[in-house]
Amino acid sequence: MSAAGRAARRERWEACFSPWALALAGAAVSAAYLFQRSLMVKALMFLCFLGAALLSGKKVSLVATIVVSAGIVAANLLVPVGRVIAVLGPMRITETALLDGVGKALVFEGLMYVSKASVLPGLRLPGRFGALVASAFVYYDRIVEYKGRIRPATLIEDADRLMLELWEAPRAEGGPETSRPMGRSAKAALIAAVALSLGLLFV
């Protein structure tokens, strides 16, 4: 998948949704996913989250997902619980431990993907704390745009110079979140995603 294609998807995704509406929907779907008991439904929801993360243009690494999931499953298999279904060398693969491991891996990685899809960079938190985070992001932009060099050999001096430059620049205050009107289909998609996730709890 090309970087240009991912950037275009990201732009389209961010243009479709208001950061707050998407974040609230993401939080609701995450909560429903966390309480989902059926492994099959969890697996289906995981695939939907993966699809949403891909559509959102966020960086998705299937290799990392597989490695982390395998680690979680393997860790759970170390403590045998339930019926032995296979023996791999010195390791006994037990049914309950395997299902537990798969369930935990699905939740761990699924929450990561739904979070990637639902947290937009323009999300502005409310209140004084939100203003503080927004100010930090303004300073962060300045650090990223900093023209000076930071070299390993003179790390302390260079980092100090950077901090002094930020210190002497105008104080940073984050602006309000740019409100984005959402289309009907985007609203409907969010409502459907939340309703479906909650409805699946009763399957």
Q: What residues line the site for other proteins (CB under 8 A)?
A: 10, 23, 26-27, 30, 58-59, 64, 67-68, 71-72, 75-76, 78-79, 100, 104, 107-108, 111-112, 114-119, 121-125, 129, 132-145, 156-157, 159-160, 163-164, 166-178
CA distance between the termini of the chain: 36
Residue placing its CB nearer to other proteins in the complex, 12 or 59: 59
Residue placing its CB nearer to other proteins in the complex, 138 or 201: 138
Tell the smallest beta-carbon distance from residue 180 to other proteins (Å): 10
Tell the smallest beta-carbon distance from residue 38 to other proteins (Å): 19
Tell the smallest beta-carbon distance from residue 153 to other proteins (Å): 14
Tell the smallest beta-carbon distance from residue 164 to other proteins (Å): 5
Tell the smallest beta-carbon distance from residue 72 to other proteins (Å): 6
Note whether 42 and 197 are within 8 A (CB): no
Residue placing its CB nearer to other proteins in the complex, 156 or 203: 156
Residue placing its CB nearer to other proteins in the complex, 170 or 184: 170
Q: Which of 121, 96, 116 is nearest to 46 (CA)?
A: 116
Residue placing its CB nearer to other proteins in the complex, 15 or 64: 64
Rounded CA-CA distance 107/36 in Å is: 9
Describe the crossing of helices 19-35 and 95-118 by its angle, rounded to 10 degrees. 170
Residue placing its CB nearer to other proteins in the complex, 126 or 184: 126
List the alpha helices (DSSP H) in the chain.
3-16, 19-35, 39-55, 62-77, 95-118, 127-144, 155-168, 184-199
Q: Which of 120, 159, 123 is nearest to 143 (CA)?
A: 159
Tell the smallest beta-carbon distance from residue 195 to other proteins (Å): 18
Q: Which of 104, 93, 114 is nearest to 39 (CA)?
A: 104
Rounded CA-CA distance 124/1 in Å is: 30
Q: Which of 126, 3, 103 is nearest to 57 (CA)?
A: 3
